[in-house]
Homo-oligomer: A and B are copies of this chain.
Amino acid sequence: MSKCEQCIIRQFNSLKALTKDELVRISACKTSKTIKKGEVLFEEGEHINGVFCIKDGVCKVSKMSENGRDQIIHLIKKGDLLGERSLINDEASNLKAVAVNDMEVCFIPKEEIVRDLEKNPNFTMDILKNMASSLKEADNVIVDMAQKTVKQRLAATLLYLNDKFPKRENGSIDVHLTREDVANIIGTATESAIRLLAEFKKKEFIKLKGKEIFVIDTTNLKQIAQGL
């Protein structure tokens, strides 16, 4: 079992604010898990009671709408923390998380890390800063969902994926999303997502090879995302 105090992943999230002693204690109680593509990390309504530190892979975090369709709200990747909110309130999760690529994660139980939230102001402030930044990002998503067309949102999403996620050797985005996943990110019907992907392909803004997506023409995609 690897040791948190030697793990470089923590540099990418709030765990970097923990002291060496705190990390040693956390290391002793954390569990490491391998999660295969398609497996569930947690369900809506479940009490998570801890945080996941993502060492590798990607998962989709979604919420079922009253209309019965899943809306993907976040994609969580290597270096991210998942489930911070479970440390702050005692509510059940309003979200579901499913692995999109195979994952390596560590799980830190709430009761061990909550103390640090109370005792280490650096850690608290870092969590607070992240929340503030997530909230700002959420504002942007709300505006985009409310005001942009499906085509604009797809263009923006492709740029986001291309920007934030690793590439395979051949240059495609290394995230195993189905067309339905893409539709559930932008909030549209699967058929609409497929049609627009085909349109972007035809215009040579992107290349498609099975589930692999290659972003080619960022300039034009940016223009479309902005509604020009």
Q: Which residues of A contact B (CB under 8 A)?
A: 63, 65-67, 69, 71, 73, 84-85, 88-89, 91, 94-95, 118, 121, 124-125, 127-129, 131-136, 138-148, 152, 186-187, 225-227
Contacts and interface: CB of A to CB of B under 8 A. Distances in A.
B127 A227 contact: no
Chain multiplicity (copies): 2
A121 B88 CA distance: 13
A20 to B, nearest CB: 22
The dominant DSSP class at the A interface is: helix
Given A121-B118, A128-B128, A132-B89, A142 B145 contact: yes
Given A85-B135, A132-B85, A136-B94, A142 B67 contact: no
Contacts of A140: 63, 94
Contacts of A141: 138, 142
Nearest to A72: B146
